[in-house]
Amino acid sequence: MALQRKLREVGHWLASRAKPRCGALLYHRVDEPENDPFRLCVSPEYFAGHMESLALSGRALSVPKLQEHLSDGELPSGKIAVTFDDGYLDNLEVALPILEQFEIPATLFVTTGNLGQPFWWDRLANLILLAPNLPELLSFPSSSKSIPTTSKTRRELFDYITLELRQRAPAFREEILKTWESLIDAPSLAPQQRCQSEEELKRFAQHPLIEIGAHSVTHSRLLALPYEKQAEEIKTSADRLAKITGTEVTILSYPFGLRGRDFNGDTIAAAKESGITQAFAANRGVITSDSDGYALPRLWIHNRDHTAFQTEIDRWV
């Protein structure tokens, strides 16, 4: 599967060379935590370097402007939009002042079921990767399934459980995490390792550089849910964000975001039914006039310095 994705990326890159193209950058967090198993974090220093690069080159573009250009069929080649997934608190406290400094617009896709709370994967990482000791056996409540913790390294154990929980219902994940949190003596999560609260999000959304989009309610793999539930996840998220911000929400980022694995044509149909007019994926690539407006690719930006960032941008856009 990974090889197939890589081959598709290469094909996409080659096909895009002859067309006007824009990029959408995918960020999650701006922080330097002790524990970052999914490489979600970019340090404040590096993020500032990225935004300075966009400001000096004049390449920054807002998602609404990108949407306008796509509708017109006339993309301004080389422009770049900044997006964040999930809705972490550091987007407000750390990223926003940097965006202000360089006057860079950004779009934040928010998971509404986690407002003011940490995500399940951060809670799991805290338990499995940072606890001084683990029980010899971790049992799944309401199930006969259990995992011997000594048969794998901590990272292997974490990856295995993450894959298992990603495909489960939110209620099942919560039951497991609460049970294990009562059994395992783990350090407390860092104060900033949570999503923005409703009040914080309202303040964030009022900033003229910021646009808010939906990212589902529970951050589940939408493809694993029945069609009706997919539509509910999307519409409920968008409606709640509209109520919080006072602005209609019509853009979406799919949780996890790989087409064919995390969303498909049914998910796109559910998004359209829910009033979504544009949606972003996590598939790597650039945006051309031929791009599917309900599966726009992005470039996931990891923790790299200004030079590496610029090299990556120039290679794609």
CATH classification of the domain holding 103: 3.20.20.370
In this structure, is residue 177 part of a structural domain? Answer: yes
Mean predicted confidence (pLDDT) in 40-69:
96
Is 80 exceeded by the pLDDT of residue 272?
yes
Mean predicted confidence (pLDDT) in 173-189:
92
What is the per-residue pLDDT for 19?
Answer: 76
Q: At 77, is the pLDDT very low, low, confident or very high (cuts 50, 70, 90)?
A: confident
What is the per-residue pLDDT for 192?
Answer: 80
For residues 141 and 256, state if they share a domain. no
Write down which residue in 183, 211, 230 finishes a domain.
183
Is 80 exceeded by the pLDDT of residue 175?
yes
Mean of all residue pLDDT scores within the chain: 92
In this structure, is residue 218 part of a structural domain? Answer: yes
- Structural domains of the chain, count: 2
Mean predicted confidence (pLDDT) in 2-24:
69
Write down which residue in 130, 160, 183 finishes a domain.
183
Mean predicted confidence (pLDDT) in 158-167:
90
For residues 210 and 231, state if they share a domain. yes
For residues 87 and 223, state if they share a domain. yes
For residues 128 and 10, state if they share a domain. no
For residues 220 and 253, state if they share a domain. yes
For residues 83 and 226, state if they share a domain. yes
For residues 39 and 113, state if they share a domain. yes
What is the per-residue pLDDT for 146?
Answer: 85
Q: At 6, is the pLDDT very low, low, confident or very high (cuts 50, 70, 90)?
A: low
For residues 304 and 177, state if they share a domain. no
Mean predicted confidence (pLDDT) in 159-175:
90
For residues 94 and 209, state if they share a domain. yes
In this structure, is residue 190 part of a structural domain? Answer: no
Per-residue H/E/C for the chain: CHHHHHHHHHHHHHHHCCCCCEEEEEECEECCCCCCCCCCEECHHHHHHHHHHHHHHCCECCHHHHHHHHHHCCCCCCCEEEEEEECEHHHHHHHHHHHHHHCCCEEEEECHHHCCCCCHHHHHHHHHHHCCCCCCEEECCCCCCEEEHHHCCHHHHHHHHHHHHHCCCHHHHHHHHHHHHHHCCCCCCCCCCCECCHHHHHHHHCCCCEEEEECCCCCCCHHHCCHHHHHHHHHHHHHHHHHHHCCCCCEEECCCCCECCCECHHHHHHHHHCCCCEEEEEEECCECCCCCCCCEEEEECCCCCHHHHHHHHHHHC
Q: At 17, is the pLDDT very low, low, confident or very high (cuts 50, 70, 90)?
A: low
Residue 33 sits in which domain range? 2-117+196-316
For residues 232 and 124, state if they share a domain. no
What is the per-residue pLDDT for 217?
Answer: 97
What is the per-residue pLDDT for 13?
Answer: 56
Encode pLDDT of 29-48 as tens digits.
Answer: 999 988 899 999 999 999 99
Encode pLDDT of 233-255 as tens digits.
Answer: 999 999 999 999 999 999 999 99
Q: Model's pTM, two decimal places?
A: 0.92
For residues 153 and 251, state if they share a domain. no
For residues 149 and 255, state if they share a domain. no
In this structure, is residue 147 part of a structural domain? Answer: yes
What is the per-residue pLDDT for 166?
Answer: 86
What is the per-residue pLDDT for 141?
Answer: 76
